[in-house]
Amino acid sequence: MTNNKNVLNWVEEMVALCKPDKVVWIDGSEKQLDEIRNLSISTGEMEKLNEEKLPGCYLHRTAENDVARVEHRTFICTRDEKDAGPTNNWEDPKVMYEKLGKMFDGVMKGRTMYVIPYCMGPIGSKLSKVGVELTDSTYVVLNMAIMTRMGQAAFEQLGETSNDFVRGLHSKADIDEENRYICHFPEDNTIWSINSGYGGNVLLGKKCFALRIASFQGKNEGWMAEHMLILGIENPQGEVKYVTAAFPSACGKTNLAMLIPPEVYTEKGYKVWTVGDDIAWLRIGDDGRLWAINPEAGFFGVAPGTNMKSNPNALKSTMQGTIFTNVVHNLDDNTVWWEGLDKNPPKNAVDWKGNKWDPESGVKGAHPNSRFTAPAKNCPCVSPEFDNPKGVPISAIVFGGRRAKTAPLVYQARDWQNGVFVGSIMASETTAAATGAVGVVRRDPMAMLPFCGYHMGDYWKHWLEMGKKLGDKAPKIFNVNWFRTDDEGHFIWPGFGDNMRVLEWIINRCEGKADAVETPIGYEPKAEDINLEGLDLSLDTLKGLLNVDKDLWKEEAKGIREFYGKFGDRLPTEMMDELNKLEANLNK
């Protein structure tokens, strides 16, 4: 499949280490994938679902001890511990190579090693990168076929001589929780993952490459790998403006990525296009603007709560060619179900653990982190620019979190530097679902805390440097909060499709078509400039949503100062300058 000596030598070395009975190179052809699907069915790894209702769809169950990303078993292995920073688990690369080397030694005896070449980003794009993952899991092969541009085309993208590919080695081994490791060696372009069979730990193109390794590459090569959706907003004149947005988990990122505008907008001819729902790679184009691609080719979405009301486009994306993991198997019609899908749970079913299940069982049928892996091309609102090798030009960057009282509905940063500050202080308050303590503020800068492959202080410095290069062509930066609550704890803003009303103001600000009011934290809309047509929300309520409570923000500033203390001398002085300015504004 390739004559690239760098690839061939590395694969040979890993084969010698893992000692598989057989090595299969994945060319990405439908014929070969069908053989692997049939093999997966015969081994019980997958179950084929109803071909009429869910054509080309399969069900998979992971081990009960292997259902989510494992932060405490995820390591950044840099030669100098300081380079990993205080927010990552660090280990010496020598120590980890030796430790995992012993675990990988002979681990694939009696198994097949699959060699998966894959491209992150559109084939033929200068913004794309290539990876090769070696795995003993057919589940990984079939998911990577959905999530990436996989097969022969990836080797053509790499070329015959390049050494610029990410080396990924994965084995399910014994799915042993105590010996589960997901290790990143950013200085070697290498990822090793062992003893897991679950999505994010083993689909090494996803968070491992697309964020942890790519963020490190981006710092060194002058681009950015971000945990952001990419969205196109088309106005009635047919002009499309693109925004990226970063939110911590459980803040409606996928819902925003696939937003359906309210009727008052669709009637006028507004449309929303999905370029990406999770990850954006951003580079400065020949025109000096910031351009973005989605490095992925599919969606790896959380199933529970996804339904025709919350996110119809996501649900429609799963109707064909999708792999469902850890959901309920409806035996009556050989389809799937999960909590929050509809009000009709199946009476004759099997839960995510493989046990008989019905609504009276007293336990949830689907795991709370159960997933679907769906091809992006299935999405009804997928952007016509999805495969454009140039990417799309970005007008605005949006940050957000889940705050009951502190953050207003929307505000704009004063400039790029202030915007980096706004991203660095991003936070969410814990909900009852997440932990016993409710309302605890968890900082998650740029939603990258678990995914930044190097020191967070250096990461902010890189953001600041990108801003200097962009100059006056830099996108404008905003912060949103859909989650303000009243005194009874009810959400005030309707959210979902109505978030379009806020996006409209954001785009108008980028084009100089909307006014703003200066506040101690940045620029806010005049309440009259948010379109409330067709919405049961008064102007006074909206004014309340835009209110900036100085006392709450003074408390916030103390929390930020404490958080910044973690980063020592690697905290860019600009960040502290912005914090001082904020405090001065609040004390005026």
- Report, as an integer, the average pLDDT of 131-157: 98
Burial 4-32, CB ≥16 within 10 A → b, else e:
bebbeebbeebeebbebeebbbbbbeeeb
Confidence of residue 57 (pLDDT cuts 50, 70, 90): very high
Q: What is the pLDDT of residues 226-253, one digit of tens each?
A: 999 999 999 999 999 999 999 998 788 9
499 is an annotated ligand-binding site residue: yes
CATH superfamily entry for domain 5-45+69-221: Phosphoenolpyruvate Carboxykinase, domain 1 (3.40.449.10)
| pLDDT exceeds cutoff 80 at 481 | yes
Residue 60 token pair: 């998979």
Share of the chain above pLDDT 90, in %: 97
Is 199 annotated as a binding-site member?
Answer: yes
On whether 371 is known to bind a ligand per the annotation, the reply is yes
What element of type H or E holds 349?
A: strand 349-350
Report whether pLDDT(435) > 90: no
- Residue 65 annotated in ligand binding: no
428 annotated to a ligand binding site = no
Summarize pLDDT for 376-401 with one digit per residue, the tens: 999 999 999 999 999 999 999 999 99
Residues 6+ positions from 336 with CB-CB distance below 8 Å: 49, 54, 57, 59, 324, 327, 328, 329, 330
Does the structure show a pLDDT above 90 at 364?
yes
Among 188, 189, 214, smallest CA distance to 283 is for 214
Q: What is the mean pLDDT of residues 95-112?
A: 98
pLDDT tens figures, 61-87:
999 999 999 999 999 999 999 999 999
- Mean pLDDT for the chain? 97
Determine the Cα–Cα distance for residues 51 and 24; give it in Å rounded to an integer.
28
Is 498 annotated as ligand-binding? Answer: yes
- Tell me: is residue 255 an annotated ligand-binding position: yes
Residue 200 annotated as lining a ligand binding site = yes
Residues 453-471: tens digit of each pLDDT: 999 999 999 999 999 999 9
Distance between CA 229 and CA 570 in Å, rounded? 28
> At a CB cut-off of 8 Å and minimum separation 6, what does 166 contact?
129, 130, 131, 132, 189, 190, 191, 204, 209, 213
Distance CA 150, CA 170 (A): 17
What pLDDT does 432 receive?
A: 55
Q: What local confidence, expressed as pLDDT, does residue 251 receive?
A: 87
**Residues catalogued as catalytic:** 251
Q: Does 402 appear as a known binding residue?
A: yes
- The answer to whether 79 is a known ligand-binding residue is no
Q: What is the pTM of this model?
A: 0.98
Q: Is 249 annotated as a binding residue?
A: yes
Q: Where are the domains of the chain?
A: 5-45+69-221, 226-296+384-587, 298-378
Which pLDDT value is given to residue 252? 87
* Side chain identity, residue 187: E
CATH architecture of structural domain 298-378: Beta Complex (2.170)
Starting at the edge strand found earlier in the chain, the sheet holding 328-330 runs 335-337, 328-330, 349-350, 356-357
- Between β-strands 58-60 and 323-325, what pairing exists: parallel, antiparallel or unpaired? parallel
Topology of 226-296+384-587 in CATH? Phosphoenolpyruvate Carboxykinase; domain 3 (3.90.228)
Tens digit of each residue's pLDDT (9 = 90 or more) over 172-223 = 999 999 999 999 999 999 999 999 999 999 999 999 999 999 999 999 999 9
Q: Where are the alpha helices (DSSP H) in 438-530?
A: 456-470, 500-510
415 is in an annotated binding site: no
Q: Is 111 annotated as ligand-binding? A: no
Neighbours of 359 (CB within 10 A): 11
**Please, what is the end-to-end C-alpha distance for the chain in angstroms?**
67
pLDDT of residue 249: 81
Q: Is 370 annotated for ligand binding?
A: yes
The verdict on whether residue 207 carries a ligand-binding annotation is yes
Query: Any known ligand binding at 369?
Result: yes
pLDDT computed for residue 431 by the predictor: 66
pLDDT value, residue 434: 42
